[in-house]
Chain A
Amino acid sequence: MLSSYENIELAERVLAELCSANMVESETTYWAGMALREALANAIKHGNKLNPNKRVFVHLALQAGHELRIEVEDEGEGFNPETVADPTAPGNLLRSNGRGVYYMRQFMDEVSFRAGERGGTCIELVKHLNSRRTT
């Protein structure tokens, strides 16, 4: 998809359809959708730096009763997640940014980053569908 915030809505709707078709609990779908939103916002804003000519690649894979796996890859210059400060540290609590990665880690069971095939960053998000954790 192209680097446009409007496309975040589209991607979340596709995820919701996939989850609905596979009888995934609505709470799980909601939090996975929020994590997808954060990953896409990061890819569009920080990865592709709002360049409309750069694309974001989204892969959704669902094994019913097992796991939901989401991959979001940008065409940016790469990203080191170790540089992200803890938004809950007292000095960061009132910052107006820097919570996206933290939220992804709270909403999903596994979050990992790797170099993408196109030079950018690929974020992989996993939700265990037998998990009771919702946030």
Chain B
Amino acid sequence: MKTKIRDVGNVRVLDIDGKITIGVGDLELRKQVEDAIAAGRLNILLNLGGVTHIDSSGIGEMVGCFTTMARKGGKMKLLNLTQKIHDILQVTQLITVFDVFDSENEAISSFKQ
């Protein structure tokens, strides 16, 4: 997994490529979110457009980050789900938990509401 970090206004955007899977990507995702919180960035947008694989550990870490952000008074939202990632979230009904966007501008704007 590779991550590019961007700050757009008050939103930390994480452009993720590759695999969010057990033992590698899941831990990297947690670290990126912890780093954002430590930097005072409580709005996080995960751009998953370049993610090829996410397993149950990656999904679990994403849910864990989502609840951590909520406890801190922040928000974590998702951008650019591929069909496969959408399907993976759909079958466990997590698609109903996350705010999901296809447009980065709309996603960024949604944090202001």
Q: Verify that A and B bind, or say they do not.
A: yes
Binding site for B on A (CB under 8 A): 5-6, 8, 30, 34, 37-38, 41, 45, 87-88, 93-100, 102-103, 106, 135
**Given that A88-B92, A135-B87 are known contacts, is A96 also in contact with B60, CB under 8 Å in the complex?**
yes
Residues of A contacting B56 in the complex (Cβ-Cβ under 8 angstroms): 38, 41, 97, 99-100, 102-103
Q: Is the CB of B21 within 8 A of A37?
A: yes
**Given that A38-B56, A41-B56, A93-B97 are known contacts, is A30 also in contact with B84, CB under 8 Å in the complex?**
yes
Q: Is the CB of B55 within 8 A of A41?
A: yes
Q: Is the CB of A5 within 8 A of B23?
A: yes
A1 to chain B, nearest CB (A): 14
Q: How large is the interface on B (under 10, 10 to 19, 20 to 34, 35 or more residues)?
A: 20 to 34
Across the two chains, which residue of chain A brings its CB closest to B70? A94
| Distance between Cα atoms of A125 and B66 in the complex (Å) | 31
Q: Is the CB of A34 within 8 A of B60?
A: no
Q: Is the CB of B97 within 8 A of A94?
A: yes
Interface of B is mostly: helix
A100 to chain B, nearest CB (A): 4
| Distance between Cα atoms of A77 and B17 in the complex (Å) | 37
Q: Is the CB of A5 within 8 A of B92?
A: no
Instruction: For chain B, residues 80 to 113, give those with C-beta under 8 angstroms from any C-beta of chain A.
Output: 84, 87-88, 90-94, 97
Binding site for A on B (CB under 8 A): 21-24, 53, 55-57, 59-61, 63-64, 66-67, 84, 87-88, 90-94, 97
Q: Is the CB of B55 within 8 A of A38?
A: yes
Residues of A contacting B22 in the complex (Cβ-Cβ under 8 angstroms): 5, 8, 37, 41, 45
The 6 closest A-B pairs by CB, nearest first: A5-B23, A99-B56, A96-B64, A96-B60, A100-B56, A135-B87
| Distance between Cα atoms of A45 and B55 in the complex (Å) | 14
Residues of B contacting A95 in the complex (Cβ-Cβ under 8 angstroms): 60, 63
Across the two chains, which residue of chain B brings its CB closest to A40? B22
| Distance between Cα atoms of A90 and B94 in the complex (Å) | 11
Across the two chains, which residue of chain A brings its CB closest to B52? A30
Pick from B60, B63, B92 the residue with the most CB of A within 10 Å: B92
Q: Is the CB of B67 within 8 A of A94?
A: yes
